[in-house]
């Protein structure tokens, strides 16, 4: 993941490690000031739903003894992103899209029953402007 910003960069060894769960968990965090750069969808949440979503995300980070998140010493793909240690590890059954789906379920958003690919996440979210 750290060296695979696009599908074209994916190598067989990297795919095997990721899908088998032999690698470490990682969270790729990017600051985006214009969601129009991505196929983004607006999801309206109540204050309680937002609290549950934020807690799910917060609980996914691995923390040091002092409680700080542990940044991975690797360059991001852009100047506005970074990698952090996270749980659980990536596997065939726990892709980044499935993690996103579970986060939405915790927040009370309707989703697919499993989301190995982004289309399964996006299909259930309302289309339309993100602003």
Could you read off the pLDDT of 36-91 as tens digits, one per residue? 767 788 899 999 999 999 999 999 999 999 999 999 998 888 888 999 999 988 88
Rounded to whole angstroms, how far apart are CA atoms 82 and 61?
Answer: 13
Whole-number Cα distances in Å, 5 to 9, 75, 102, 113, 123: 7, 11, 23, 27, 23
Asked whether the bond before 88 is cis by omega within 30 degrees of 0, the reply is: yes
- Name the residue range of residue 86's domain: 7-122
Does 47 fall in a domain? Answer: yes
The answer to whether position 42 is within a domain reads yes
Is the residue at 57 inside a domain?
yes
**Spatial CB neighbours of 109, under 8 Å, sequence gap ≥ 6:** 43, 45, 49, 124, 125
Residue 131, domain member (yes or no): no
pLDDT band at 107 (very low <50, low <70, confident <90, very high): very high
């Amino acid at each position: 993941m750290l060296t695979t910003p696009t599908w074209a960069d994916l190598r067989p060894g990297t795919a095997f490690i990721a899908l088998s769960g032999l690698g470490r968990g990682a969270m790729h965090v990017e600051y985006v000031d214009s969601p129009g750069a991505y196929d983004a969808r607006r999801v309206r949440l109540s204050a309680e739903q937002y609290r549950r979503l934020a807690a799910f995300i917060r609980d996914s980070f691995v923390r040091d003894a002092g409680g700080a998140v542990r940044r991975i010493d690797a360059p991001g793909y852009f100047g506005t992103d970074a990698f952090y240690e996270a749980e659980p590890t990536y596997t065939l059954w726990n892709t980044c899209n499935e993690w996103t789906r579970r986060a939405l379920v915790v927040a009370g958003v309707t989703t697919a029953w499993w989301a190995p690919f982004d289309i399964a996440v996006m299909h259930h979210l309302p289309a339309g402007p993100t602003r």
